[in-house]
Amino acid sequence: MLKVLLSNDDGIHADGIQILMHALNNIAELYVVAPLRERSTTGHSLTLTDPLRTVEIRKNVWGCSGFPADCVFMGLGHLAREVQFDVVVSGINRGANLGQDVYYSGTVAAAREGAFHRVPAIAISSVLDNLGHEEEIHYAAAAHFLKKFLTLGGHKFCPQFGVVNVNVPNLPLEQIQGVKLSRLGFRRYNDAIEERTDARQRPYYWIGGKYQGPVCDEGTDCMAIERKQISVSLLNLLDHSNFDRTGMETFVNQFIMG
């Protein structure tokens, strides 16, 4: 049975990770270390100046006071250090991790920390662009894909020091139009900074411009999502010239969602 370390950035109690735990439970021995509270868009932060605390929620499931990368570091280096993991999985994230957003993403950072420890690493996200609005989230489609991906051995094609970044359209499974190996695209934001005034008439600010849509160049993750395809991107962490994509490309081209 596969040994999987599971984390996320939405928090240990988030729907995405709970659904993924349920989906993988019968194919994998799961160890879960995830933040005790939401840590979205925290990038690859590590807690070096404060202590980390963990809470054992149940057997092999821990909440951690730190960031997503802290969680994976703790899982591999302490909480489950005796386990030889087959793969680190981060997700299912509530929202897209496409284009340049991967550099802000706590979800991708958790997977990247696994890759730094030479463990195959996968980040998986459900693509939502209206995070502040009521919208049905089809986590089941992403969970189905990942379960099949692991069952067929897709994690074995993860290049060393690489992250497999998966984005799944927020659609019912039957509406998804296949799987595409893609490269990073670009997502446009208006970069607005909103200024407000507190009760003492002092200014404060909210950072975060509104999403204005993707640049849909051919072959990019953004284009795959526009075509209702699952995007699988390989993120090369150390820019090695021998970064081998051929195994994953062959695997993805043969993948059938059913």
Q: Is residue 22 part of a domain?
A: yes
Nearest one of 50, 19, 57 to 35, comparing CA atoms: 57
DSSP readout, 88-121? EEEEEEES---GGGGGT-HHHHHHHHHHHTT--E
Q: Is residue 92 part of a domain?
A: yes
pLDDT in tens, 113-159: 999 999 999 999 999 866 555 578 999 999 999 999 999 999 999 98
Strands 186-189 and 28-35: unpaired
* CATH code, domain carrying 32: 3.40.1210.10
Is the pLDDT score of 10 beyond 70? yes
Domains identified in the chain, total number: 1
Query: What percentage of the chain reaches a pLDDT higher than 70?
Result: 96
Which structural domain, as residue segments, surrounds residue 19? 2-187+218-254
The pTM is what?
Answer: 0.92
Q: Is residue 192 part of a domain?
A: no
Q: Which of 47-61, 111-125, 237-251 has the lowest mean pLDDT?
A: 237-251
Q: Give the SS3 label for residue 223.
A: helix
User: What backbone torsions phi and psi does residue 174 show, to the nearest 5 degrees?
Assistant: -70, -15
